[in-house]
């Protein structure tokens, strides 16, 4: 048969090899840049075209910076029709994030929690631990 859509967790996606896969959608960004690269590598194989779409919430921003640093370029930002953007994701703060954090060694693990939970308190705790509060405050405004 033929499969039009497949939904898989990051763990399940590791063992999947589907020919002619044209799109990968990341509802949550992975903690490690290598996992992101592996996921998007499922599409566009052997020179075929492919698209990776990632939904990025404020809690995913540190992970996005680490991914962009590993890729060596900025991922294009687009607004999706029908979705209201409350705060635009900054183009980049790669120059402000220390290399060990860009490599995903201290990724913000609160991003994996349900998007329906209030992550504000968790994000404040993570920022205090990481010492990056001033950098993110500059980018996002009041934390």
**Domains of the chain by range and CATH?**
10-140 (3.40.50)
pTM of structure: 0.57
Which string of b and e fits 47-85 if b means at least 16 CB within 10 Å?
eeebebebebbbbbbbbbbbbbbeeeeebeeeeeeeeee
Is 62 within 8 Å of 107 (Cβ atoms)? yes
pLDDT band at 100 (very low <50, low <70, confident <90, very high): low
- For residue range 40-91, list pLDDT tens digits in order: 887 777 777 888 889 888 788 888 888 988 888 888 888 778 877 777 666 6
The pLDDT > 90 percentage for the chain reads 1
**Among the ranges given (11-15, 26-30, 134-138), the one the predictor scored with the smallest mean pLDDT:** 134-138
Quickly state the pLDDT bin for 33 (edges 50, 70, 90).
very high
Q: What's the rounded Cα separation, in Å, for the pair 8 and 85?
A: 26
122 φ/ψ angles, rounded to the nearest 5 degrees: -65, -45
- Kindly report which listed range (29-33, 42-46, 106-110) carries the lowest average pLDDT score: 106-110
């Amino acid at each position: 048969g033929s499969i039009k859509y497949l939904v898989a967790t990051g763990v399940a996606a590791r063992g999947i090899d589907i020919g002619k896969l044209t799109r990968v959608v990341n509802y949550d960004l992975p903690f490690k840049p290598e996992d992101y690269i592996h996921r998007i590598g499922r599409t566009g194989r052997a020179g075929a075209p492919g698209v990776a779409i990632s939904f990025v919430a404020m809690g995913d921003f540190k992970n996005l910076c680490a991914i962009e640093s590993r890729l060596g370029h900025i991922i294009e930002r687009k607004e999706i029709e029908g979705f209201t953007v409350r705060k635009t994701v900054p183009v980049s703060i790669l120059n402000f994030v220390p290399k060990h954090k860009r490599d995903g060694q201290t990724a913000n693990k609160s991003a994996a929690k349900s998007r329906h939970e209030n992550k504000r308190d968790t994000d404040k705790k993570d920022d205090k631990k990481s010492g990056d509060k001033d950098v993110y405050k500059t980018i996002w405004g009041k934390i």
